[in-house]
Structures are given as structure tokens and as C-alpha cells.
């Protein structure tokens, strides 16, 4: 089940971000960065499109003992055990009360497959890498350490997730989550 909303393609000569359809994803994009954007509450986030392997609806998972709160458990995805990370919880905003309307974005980071629990997928966005702004140092907190930068799309600010940092473990998490998040 794929829950993707895609905006129509627009003129690539305009100065702002360019929306593309999946058919455009590999054709003539040049040096544009492409991300899947999604929402957690009212906040918009994005992950690199090349890291995304699948987007699926929420389904039952198997809970595992002694994991950090943000590791909701594992999902058997065609024989591969995929740990599910609750992004709302990972960003310090409490547990997501997951319903069938929530989605799991399955990403590959190195040799690891990980599911990211989010509220909904918004769009596929494309933009020049030069449009990425750094996260302001004044606002660095537990959520910001997982961000690679910020980009404005139309009127929305999208925080780009650094998957490597998102999956890196703090000392407090290392004992419980090191085995589940390893390759």
C-alpha cells in the first residue's frame, strides 16, 4: 500500500523548489536534491528519496523488551525484521498513538533497513542543494541534532532529516537499542 501525494511537475527554470512526479524522478533532474516530505503533527520533514525503499500503512508490530521508548518494535517485511522508530517520540514529543491512518516510511541506511513512523506523506520535492539552509545554532536541541538542514517549499519550511544521526545512539540508548539497530 503506497500513500503518496504527488504535486504536478512545474517549470524547472523558476527559482523555488521544483515538484516532480515519480516518472520524473530519474529523468533529467540534474543536480536537484529529491526528498519525500511527510508530516508529524503540524511539522514537515523530509528524507532523501534514494534512501526510501517503501511507504506502507501502519500495521501491527512485535514489541521487543529493553528497547528505548522510540523503538516501537519490529515489523516482518517479507522476511526482513525492520525496527520501527517512532519519530514523534525520537524528537521528544511523546509516543504516537498509531492508527491505520499513520504510515511507515521504510528507509535504508547503509546496510540497515529501518521504518520511520509518521502521520502522513505529503509530497516528493526537488530543489537545488544550495537552497538548503543550516539549522540555526540558537535552536539546537534534541530534535535539531537529527536535522541536516532546512528548505522552504512554497510557504512551508521542511526540516531535512539526517538519517545517520537519527539512528546513532546516545550513551543512554546504546545498551538497549544497539542490537536492534545494527545491520
Residues 33-48: b if buried by 16+ CB within 10 A, e if exposed? bbbbbbbbeebbbbbb
Instruction: Identify the pLDDT of residue 30.
Output: 62
Beta bridge pairs of residue 33 = 127
52-102 residue pLDDT tens = 999 999 998 999 999 999 999 999 999 999 999 999 999 888 999 999 999
Share of the chain above pLDDT 90, in %: 55
Q: How far apart are the first and last CA of the chain?
A: 26
Cβ-based burial of 183 (10 A; exposed 0-12, middle 13-18, buried ≥19): exposed
Q: Average pLDDT over the chain, rounded to whole? A: 79
| Grid-cell match 504536478, residue found | 8
147-153: strand order across its sheet? 18-19, 120-127, 33-40, 43-48, 156-161, 147-153
Give mean pLDDT, residues 123-141: 82
**Cα distance between residue 133 and residue 151, in whole Å:** 6
Amino acid at each position: 500500500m503506497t500513500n503518496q501525494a504527488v504535486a504536478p511537475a512545474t517549470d524547472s527554470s523558476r527559482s523555488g523548489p521544483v515538484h516532480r512526479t515519480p516518472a520524473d524522478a530519474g529523468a533529467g533532474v540534474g543536480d536537484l536534491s529529491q526528498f519525500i516530505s511527510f508530516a508529524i503533527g503540524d511539522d514537515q520533514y523530509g528524507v532523501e528519496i534514494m534512501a526510501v525503499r517503501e511507504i506502507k500503512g501502519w500495521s501491527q508490530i512485535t514489541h521487543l523488551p529493553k528497547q528505548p521508548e522510540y523503538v516501537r518494535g519490529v515489523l516482518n517485511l517479507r522476511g526482513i525484521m525492520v525496527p520501527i522508530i517512532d519519530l514523534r517520540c525520537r524528537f521528544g514529543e511523546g509516543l504516537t498513538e498509531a492508527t491505520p491512518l499513520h504510515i511507515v516510511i521504510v528507509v535504508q541506511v547503509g546496510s540497515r533497513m529501518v521504518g520511520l513512523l509518521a502521520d502522513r506523506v505529503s509530497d516528493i520535492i526537488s530543489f537545488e542543494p544550495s537552497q538548503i539552509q543550516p539549522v540555526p545554532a540558537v535552536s539546537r536541541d534534541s530534535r535539531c541534532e537529527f536535522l541536516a538542514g532546512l528548505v522552504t517549499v512554497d510557504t512551508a519550511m521542511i526540516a531535512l532529516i539526517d538519517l545517520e544521526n537519527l539512528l546513532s545512539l546516545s550513551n543512554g540508548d546504546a545498551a538497549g537499542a544497539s542490537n536492534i539497530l545494527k545491520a
